[in-house]
């Protein structure tokens, strides 16, 4: 399936001249990007599971599923009754344009997030663009919004005249590579869980390559100078950094132009004419106040993804979630006043503890309700609101949340807390140190999306525990308080030094061409 074999523009391996070979290689990847298969794609290929028109299934089996924008590195199941399941990430759809992801909105307020990166070398992006398509159920009009790795809104799908919506991933620079897609029911029409949408990708020609020509050329000059050990290679580094700084400013200008264009295209009644800032409107949202249509459209265009999702999570926790919770309690004969001042703690293995309620029977009923029905939802609110978790870099965030998911799963399977520090990888790639029941499930089960996800998480955790050494495991407890009739998050932080931990996971280069390269001043949120 690797496109370095197919559609290569007639490139032949028998070329003798180095220069000729280089030219042929260049012509080849300008015809179509060169893709390399991931480990899971390679495994599926040799198992005979790779084909055209594959259908990836939406992730609904894991703790966070696709309800959070930070759920990176998710694998999606491709089911085949004859050959068994393959597990691929969303990037695969860019490599194989015949395949697609099938998903659905469970209700009119459901929102689905999908993360992807451009799976070819950054310099190839000078020549190629990526388009995203969404096919929707008949009569539905879903919003498909694109965010970059800094949380900026950088594209909204529009009808393409062929019954579907399309957006183009911006080619404003060659540095930005991670993106997040948000699918939601923008018009509020009734949604059936039996109605499915389909997401697909297409690699196109980059007709605006002049925007990134200077970056490509400056990097090429630097790389060549450094490779031949030119004593003046740092001069080329200075030139490259200057181009990067200019590109960063151009990126901001392009984004501002796009946002203004989106705002100007709104119907007059949806154009916000008030004087409040985006931050002020988000604070209103977080406080549980309803924004009008114009205010909401304004926020959707200009707000950062991280800030907007945090505000929405706070509002949902305070309003709809708290109301649903209290209604369940009232059905049990417990009033809102009975739980005023309550504190809830949900440990990393999912154990629920409730205090602040004097009546023992009431306390036990509340604890049981959370344990059986609301614990997972509360965990999702916690990681979406608590700054100690939300501000983590992506690598450390994945580690901390994977620990929570794995511990809950293993306890559900075995009935006991399992020490992750005692786990290891065997020479044949299996997870060692697990109790027999868990080992049989993790190491022997096939064609199960949830178990596949647990395997991936365990492999990553085992590797990170080894790297982190004496710093410890990033456990956290999801804590909440019930005050003034509603829930709010009580950020409990971490017992370990998360900055030091992240430093272990992020290798530092020094004395080479990469160590002093200019870094964008944008803060990454994915």
Which residues on adjacent β-strands are paired with residue 183?
112, 144
Q: Tens of pLDDT along 369-390?
A: 999 999 999 999 999 999 999 9
Asked, for residue 179, whether it belongs to a domain, the answer is yes
Lowest mean pLDDT among 173-187, 329-343, 509-523: 509-523
**pLDDT surpassing 50 at residue 5:** no
Query: If pLDDT is split at 50, 70 and 90, which confidence band does 329 have?
Result: very high
Asked, for residue 313, whether it belongs to a domain, the answer is no
Q: Are strands 343-346 and 197-205 parallel, antiparallel or unpaired?
A: unpaired
Asked, for residue 261, whether it belongs to a domain, the answer is yes
Rounded CA separation 377/364 (Å): 19
For residues 410 and 437, state if they share a domain.
yes
* Domain final residue pick, 166, 192, 208: 208
CA 443 to chain centre: 27
For residues 344 and 450, state if they share a domain.
yes
What average pLDDT score do residues 335-353 get? 96
Query: If pLDDT is split at 50, 70 and 90, which confidence band does 496 have?
Result: very high
Rounded CA separation 466/60 (Å): 30
pLDDT for 213 equals 94
Per the CB < 8 A criterion, the answer to whether 291 and 299 are in contact is: yes
Query: If pLDDT is split at 50, 70 and 90, which confidence band does 34 have?
Result: confident
Which residues on adjacent β-strands are paired with residue 166?
133, 158
Q: Tens of pLDDT along 143-198?
A: 999 999 999 999 999 999 888 999 999 999 999 999 999 999 987 778 887 889 99
Q: Tens of pLDDT along 387-410?
A: 999 999 999 999 999 999 999 999
Query: If pLDDT is split at 50, 70 and 90, which confidence band does 18 have?
Result: very low
Question: Number of structural domains, the chain?
Answer: 3
For residues 349 and 480, state if they share a domain.
yes
pLDDT for 20 equals 40
What average pLDDT score do residues 237-254 get? 96
Rounded CA separation 93/78 (Å): 12
Does the pTM of the predicted model rise above 0.85?
A: yes
The CATH number assigned to the domain holding 105 equals 2.60.120.380
CB-count burial class (<10 Å; 0-12, 13-18, 19+) for 433: middle
Lowest mean pLDDT among 33-47, 344-358, 484-498: 33-47
* Domain final residue pick, 208, 229, 251: 208
**pLDDT surpassing 60 at residue 1:** no
pLDDT for 241 equals 96
Asked, for residue 379, whether it belongs to a domain, the answer is yes
pLDDT for 64 equals 67
For residues 234 and 158, state if they share a domain.
no
For residues 199 and 86, state if they share a domain.
yes
Higher pLDDT, 9 or 74: 74
| Summary mean pLDDT of the chain | 89
Taking only Cα atoms into account, the Rg of the chain, rounded to an integer number of angstroms, comes to: 25
DSSP state, residue 68: S
Q: Determine how many CB atoms are found less than 10 A away from the CB of residue 207.
A: 8
Lowest mean pLDDT among 282-296, 305-319, 473-487, 499-513: 499-513
For residues 130 and 38, state if they share a domain.
yes
Q: Determine how many CB atoms are found less than 10 A away from the CB of residue 174.
A: 20
Q: CB-side exposure of 321: number of CA atoms within 13 Å?
A: 25
Q: Is residue 265 classed as helix, strand or coil in its secondary structure? A: coil
Q: Tens of pLDDT along 96-116?
A: 999 999 999 988 888 999 999
CA nearest neighbour of 485 among 365, 329, 347: 329
Rounded CA separation 516/131 (Å): 33
For residues 348 and 482, state if they share a domain.
yes
Q: CB-side exposure of 268: number of CA atoms within 13 Å?
A: 0
pLDDT for 22 equals 41
**pLDDT surpassing 70 at residue 307:** yes
Asked, for residue 26, whether it belongs to a domain, the answer is no
For residues 359 and 251, state if they share a domain.
no
Phi-psi region of 500 (alpha: psi -120 to 50; beta: other; left: phi over 0): alpha
DSSP state, residue 509: P
For residues 479 and 342, state if they share a domain.
yes
For residues 109 and 189, state if they share a domain.
yes
Per the CB < 8 A criterion, the answer to whether 247 and 215 are in contact is: yes
pLDDT for 256 equals 97
pLDDT for 13 equals 28
**pLDDT surpassing 50 at residue 16:** no
% residues pLDDT > 70 (the chain): 94
For residues 140 and 181, state if they share a domain.
yes
Cα first-last separation, the chain: 28
Q: Tens of pLDDT along 75-98?
A: 899 998 888 999 999 999 999 999
Asked, for residue 186, whether it belongs to a domain, the answer is yes
Angle at 485 between CA 483 and CA 489, to 5 degrees: 45
Beta-carbon contacts of 415 under 8 Å, excluding residues fewer than 6 positions away, are: none
Alpha helix segments (H runs only) across 202-232: 213-227
Query: If pLDDT is split at 50, 70 and 90, which confidence band does 30 have?
Result: low
For residues 231 and 193, state if they share a domain.
no
Q: Tens of pLDDT along 420-433?
A: 999 999 999 899 99
Question: Per-residue DSSP letters for 280-335?
Answer: HHHHHHHTTPPPPHHHHHHHHHHS-HHHHHHHHHHHHIIIIIHHHHHHHHHTTT--
Asked, for residue 95, whether it belongs to a domain, the answer is yes
Q: Answer positive or negative: Cα dihedral of 274, 280, 283, 287.
A: negative
Query: If pLDDT is split at 50, 70 and 90, which confidence band does 19 have?
Result: very low
* Domain final residue pick, 208, 233, 257: 208
**pLDDT surpassing 90 at residue 272:** yes
Asked, for residue 442, whether it belongs to a domain, the answer is yes
Per the CB < 8 A criterion, the answer to whether 64 and 33 are in contact is: no
In the numeric block, which tokens belong to residue 245?
Answer: 């700084």
Owning domain of residue 139: 33-208
Edge-first strand listing for the sheet containing 165-168:
55-57, 100-103, 197-205, 128-135, 165-168, 158-159
């Amino acid at each position: 399936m690797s496109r370095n074999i197919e559609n290569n523009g007639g490139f032949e391996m028998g070329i003798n001249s180095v220069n000729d070979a280089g030219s042929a290689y260049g012509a080849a990847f300008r015809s179509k990007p060169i893709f390399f298969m991931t480990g899971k794609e390679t495994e599926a290929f040799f198992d005979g599971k790779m084909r055209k028109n594959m259908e990836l299934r939406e992730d609904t089996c894991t703790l966070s599923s696709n309800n959070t924008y930070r759920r990176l590195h998710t694998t999606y199941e491709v089911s085949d009754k004859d050959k068994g399941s393959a597990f691929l990430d969303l990037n695969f759809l860019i490599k194989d344009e015949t395949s697609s992801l099938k998903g659905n909105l469970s209700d009119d307020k459901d929102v689905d997030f999908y993360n992807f990166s451009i799976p070819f070398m950054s310099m190839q992006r000078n020549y190629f663009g990526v388009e995203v398509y969404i096919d929707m159920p008949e009569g539905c009009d879903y919003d498909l919004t694109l965010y970059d790795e800094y949380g900026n809104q950088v594209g909204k799908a529009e009808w393409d005249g062929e019954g579907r919506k399309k957006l183009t991933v911006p080619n404003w620079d060659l540095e930005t590579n991670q993106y997040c897609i948000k699918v939601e029911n923008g018009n509020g029409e009734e949604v059936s869980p039996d109605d499915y949408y389909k997401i697909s990708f297409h690699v196109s020609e980059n007709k605006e390559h002049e925007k990134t020509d200077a970056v490509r050329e400056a990097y090429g000059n630097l790389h060549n100078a450094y490779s031949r050990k030119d004593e003046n290679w740092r001069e080329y580094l200075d030139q490259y950094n200057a181009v990067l700084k200019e590109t960063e400013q151009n990126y901001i200008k392009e984004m501002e132009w796009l946002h203004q264009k989106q705002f100007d295209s709104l119907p007059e009644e949806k154009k916000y004419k008030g004087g409040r800032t985006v931050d002020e409107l988000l604070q209103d949202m977080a406080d549980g106040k309803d924004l009008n249509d114009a205010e909401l459209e304004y926020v959707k265009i200009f707000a950062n993804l991280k800030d907007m999702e945090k505000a929405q999570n706070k509002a949902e926790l305070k309003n709809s979630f708290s109301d649903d919770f209290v209604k369940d309690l009232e059905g049990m004969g417990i009033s809102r006043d009975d739980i005023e001042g309550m504190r809830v703690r949900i440990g990393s293995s999912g154990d629920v503890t409730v205090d602040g309620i004097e009546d023992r029977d009431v306390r036990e009923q509340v604890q049981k309700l959370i344990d059986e029905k609301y614990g997972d939802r509360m965990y999702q609110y916690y990681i979406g609101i608590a700054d100690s978790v939300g501000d983590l870099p992506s690598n450390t965030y994945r580690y901390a949340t994977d620990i929570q998911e794995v511990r809950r799963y293993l306890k559900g399977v075995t009935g006991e807390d399992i020490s992750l520090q005692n786990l290891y990888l065997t020479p044949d790639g299996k997870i060692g140190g697990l109790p027999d029941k868990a080992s049989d499930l993790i190491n022997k089960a096939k064609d199960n999306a949830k178990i596949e996800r647990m395997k991936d998480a365990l492999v990553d955790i085992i590797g990170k525990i080894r790297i982190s050494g004496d710093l410890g495991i990033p456990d956290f407890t999801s804590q909440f308080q019930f005050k003034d009739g509603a829930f709010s998050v009580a950020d409990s932080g971490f017992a370990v030094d998360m900055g030091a931990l992240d430093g272990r996971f992020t290798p530092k280069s020094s004395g080479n061409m990469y160590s002093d390269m200019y870094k964008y001043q944008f803060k990454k949120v994915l």
